[in-house]
Amino acid sequence: MQVRRVLSNLFNLCPSAKSCIEVEVEEIEQVIRTLGLQNKRARALQRLSHEYLYGSWTHVTQLHGVGKYVGDAYAIFCTGEWRNVTPTDKELLPYWNFLWSIM
Which residue pairs from 67-75 have beta carbons closer than 8 angstroms and sit at least 24 positions apart in sequence?
72/96
How close are the terminal C-alpha atoms of the chain, in Å? 35
Catalytic residue flag (residue 72): no
N residues, the chain: 103
Among the listed residues 7, 38, 74, 89, the single catalytic one is 89
Residue 39 has, within 13 A of its CA and on its CB side, a CA count of 0
Mapped onto helix, strand or coil, the DSSP state of residue 17 is helix
Active site residues: 89
